[in-house]
Structure 1
């Protein structure tokens, strides 16, 4: 009888103990958003109330990086947790994939979505892909159950005979091009369903697809990868937002994206999924500065898209998961490559293999269980070369060049430049002469890292 009573107590205890649900993940990934383009990161005239609230309730990361300073390689880094030099997704000849490219993310690479599928996650890719537009490279062949979006940048498939966008954008902060100028398709799974994409409505439609997917999969774990193709030029905004921002059409675009973030967060709250969903907001690289008011701002950071100065690769980043992510401003180092190991760790996925990963598990920092990031270094690759390396506050430049289209020409430094980014985030004061031992340390670190790179087939040059 005593044994029967104990068994009953044990069964009751097991029944009353709630089973912890697998966390959901939402990544909202902008295109060419600068470090200084959000109100919560210091912009004085662009209103981003939903992102501001997200930052107040979550963690605002001020030292968060991408794997490259331009679209394709940066996206490959996020998806695989690996620097793009390791999987052929970076080139000195072709910076990104184009409509006439034949390559893409190799099938041998394992994406975040593929890892999460092993635990039964529903997965959706929405928005700009830019990791290969041939069918074998599309999201549905890289772990995603569904895909709806454009396969590459929104300025591709341009048609001749229209006004020069760069010239017009420099003349008018509110200019937007005819939709017909860019014959970019919208693809649903593997089929073209719209040509050209109506880019005036595309931001809201991306948000609608994300909200619908969340509602449809509310009873199972899910991963949403929402990659906005804006504020990459050409800029377009929906009717409700066009002309609303004093910053011009660029501000209209950001405020519409912010509105969409609010819709997604509100959906999670309404479905009681907010405390079980990690939402990450960041961008693929810095602002495209040659387009002046149609490009963004890197704030106090130097240069922009295409460069390995901070303005090209340090991104405004927010993590949000009420009750799990400890609110505050996070000064530690992080990078988009860290999302894969972080998500897998939180989902209970064994992601370790014989493949070299460049990401670190940040879940301890997010939960407030650790004060120190497992990441203490950042490697700045551009066009198949290490241009710079950061360790702690110290950053050494071995090669420098301006952002695409403007800025200083490429210079290989016989004596590397050195900056203390904690004290000089704008990289104004080269202090290499005062700290030769730090320069030597970083030079050796870069060389050690370079030796870890094995040659692979270049996908961007196919």
Structure 2
């Protein structure tokens, strides 16, 4: 283990030193460090600064909101993990990929992002940034197999159990570092997903060998799945602190090794996604049960990273985004016992605030997320912005900030909201419309205050097929954020026009003009 640790540290240092082309000192000083912090399954209503009724203390996120700009109408690119992260990384809707609308990745599925597609990390690396990812990937990894005949099965089978066929000792055939990240310390997916090991620069840090039963016997508890393959030393109580340590280490190393070269960090936290297992020092710190305590732990580690920026003297010229990959899970239905340490009751706390719906759905609670941006050098603190944005917009926003042009095969569904950051322009939206999709495949279109939910078509082919029946629901979110009153019958022309937008976006292969 000691030899592996030394090897990994050396590899990290070499990657940072060689990651990017030379950039002039003048260019460097004009370009901020950039950190994207992504929570996992955290609701808009969990942050006290965004929801006065929250029963969860979030002092660090509240401070971030006071120091930055809060987007009150920000949306994940999907209402669950995979489409949300795909949109953030590529600026494109995931329903355009091989998975389609409602698709998800199996535990050992191959990479989702298409060969040659430019990601946000590619953009930043090409602009001279040191790039790193710490945390949850969940965009697929191509593991080396001993028997290649099972390659297609492994791409689609969520319960693939032939672990002996996976060569965990070898570097992956394709993984995180192939998408613009010079450094990565990651989990393949959510905390409970296989394999339960850290993946460092495209290879397993420790080869997973333990079964769930063996992990329970060794550690007295295991809050993962019943069919996990687990590495020695990989425990749920160590997961969150370890990722926090690595995020801080990346920043510190980047600053000390290349002080004249800015860095980009994508810190994809695994909290508060199940397993809901707050560490002991956070138990009882909220008034919203175990889930609330887990959010308190998340807030602590966000604060730790922000304090790190201050201690290093780089906070003023570091652009920090904080958001969540989608809305919260409906905890009123409970969780499987194996995923929870303690009581799951929410004690009157509403993670979605005034919105209805949950993760996976088309209601606002499934995809309207907290979205806070701080950049003391450029952004006026303590303001709120009602401009509608979506994760697809982050890549083109950074491109505009850096004065980097992107081609028409990049971020086809994203548009820059950089003018909203600086206060130069804050319209209702920079989009003609944005698209939401349900985990079952159904679509919705958002335009201005209106949201049209279409139940019927579940694939892009069905969207374009006039024979597929469609049932409409239309809501005026300015008047009805809870989506309690369907006004489709009162606005038939609006329904027709918004449905036509979805068809147009599907046919064109993009939602932004070339």
TM-score (norm 1): 0.81
Q: 1:427 to 1:400 in 2, by over 3 A?
A: farther
CA shift in 2, pair 1:117/1:305, >3 Å: same
**Does the aligned pair in 2 maintain the 1:87–1:109 contact within 8 Å?**
no
What's the counterpart of residue 39 of structure 2? 30
Structure 2 match to 1:362: 417
Give structure 2 stretches of 5+ with no counterpart. Answer: 1-25, 143-171, 197-210, 215-219, 336-343, 458-467
Shift of 1:88: 2.6
Distance 1:33 1:209 in 2: 22
Q: How many residues align?
A: 407
Instruction: Measure, in 2, the Cα distance between the counterparts of 1:364 and 1:240.
Output: 42
Q: Deviations over 1:222-243 (max 9, x none)?
A: 1111111121111122232133
1:233–1:294: 8 Å Cα contact kept in structure 2? no
CA contact (8 A) 2:133 2:185 kept: yes
Deviates more, 1:267-276 or 1:220-229: 267-276
**Closer/same/farther in 2, CA of residues 413 and 64 from structure 1, 3 Å limit:** farther
In structure 1, the residue matched to 2:186 is 149
- 1:128 paired residue number: 136
Paired position in structure 2 for 1:63: 73
Q: What residue in structure 1 maps to residue 245 of structure 2?
A: 208
Is 2:347 aligned against 1:291? no
Deviations 1:26-61 (A, max 9, x none): 011111111211111214310000100111111111
1:388, 1:244 → 2: CA distance? 38
SS in 1 for 2:309: helix
Query: Match for residue 168 of structure 1?
Result: none
C-alpha distance in 2, partners of 1:87/1:226? 24
Corresponding residue for residue 121 of structure 2: 113
Residues 194-251 of structure 1: CA distance to partner in whole angstroms, max 9, x if unpaired?
A: 4463221222222221111111112121111111112111112223213322222211
CA shift, 1:342, in A, is: 0.8
Q: Structure 1 residue 353 and structure 2 residue 408: aligned?
A: yes
1:280 aligns with one of 286, 311, 321? 321
Q: Paired residue for 1:49, among 59, 67, 79?
A: 59
Provide the aligned C-alpha RMSD in A: 2.8
Where does 1:376-415 land on structure 2 (aligned, <5 Å)?
376-382=432-438, 385=441, 387-399=443-455, 414-415=470-471
C-alpha distance after superposition, 1:113-139 (max 9, x if no partner): 111111221111111101113224421
Equivalent in the alignment of 1:457: none
CA-CA distance at 1:155 after TM superposition: 2.3
SS of 2:393's equivalent in the other structure is: helix
Aligned counterparts of 2:376 and 2:108: Cα–Cα separation in 1:
44
- Cα separation, 2, equivalents of 1:241 and 1:195: 25
Cα separation, 2, equivalents of 1:241 and 1:136 = 39
What's the counterpart of residue 388 of structure 2? Answer: 333
How big is each residue's C-alpha offset from its partner over 1:300-349, in whole Å with a ceiling of 9 and x where there is no partner?
A: 21111111111111111111111312231111101111110111221232
Deviation at 1:183, TM superposition (A): 7.2
Q: Distance in 1 between matches of 2:373 and 2:212?
A: 42
Q: Is the 8 A contact 2:132 2:266 kept in 1?
A: yes
Q: In 2, are the aligned partners of 1:125 and 1:225 still within 8 Å (CA)?
A: yes
2:354 corresponding residue in structure 1:
300
Asked if 2 retains the 8 angstrom alpha-carbon contact of 1:98 and 1:156, the reply is: no
Superposed, which structure 2 residues align to 1:241-252 within 5 Å? 241-252=282-293
Task: State the 1:434 CA deviation.
Answer: 1.7
Distance (whole Å) between structure 2 residues aligned to residue 204 and residue 239 of structure 1: 12
Partner residue, 1:190: none
The equivalent residue for 2:373 is 319
Q: How does 1:396-435 map to 2 (within 5 A)?
A: 396-399=452-455, 414-435=470-491
Residue among 259, 264, 274 paired with 2:305: 264
User: 2:95 corresponds to which residue?
Assistant: 85
The answer as to 2:82 corresponding to 1:72 is yes
Q: Is the 8 A contact 2:71 2:385 kept in 1?
A: yes
For structure 1, the residue ranges without an aligned partner over 5 or more in a row are 1-16, 163-175, 187-193, 402-411, 455-462
TM superposition shift of 1:383: 5.4
Contact 2:101 2:441 in 1 (8 A): no
Instruction: Quote the offset at 1:104 in angstroms.
Output: 2.7
Q: Supply the distance in 1 between the matched residues of 2:376 and 2:36 (Cα, whole angstroms).
A: 16
Q: Say whether the 8 Å CA contact 2:136–2:268 is kept in structure 1.
A: yes
Report the alpha carbon displacement of residue 77 of structure 1 after superposing the two structures with TM. Answer: 0.8
Bigger mean CA deviation after superposition, 29-38 or 369-378: 369-378
Check 1:86–1:195 CA distance in 2 against 1; reply closer, same or farther (3 A cut). farther
Is contact 1:398–1:417 with CA below 8 Å preserved after alignment? yes
How far has the Cα of 1:450 moved from its partner?
2.0
**Deviations, residues 270-293 of structure 1 (Å, cap 9, x unaligned):** 222122111111111111113374
- Pair 1:238–1:384, CA change in 2 (3 A): closer
User: Aligned with 1:318: secondary structure?
Assistant: strand
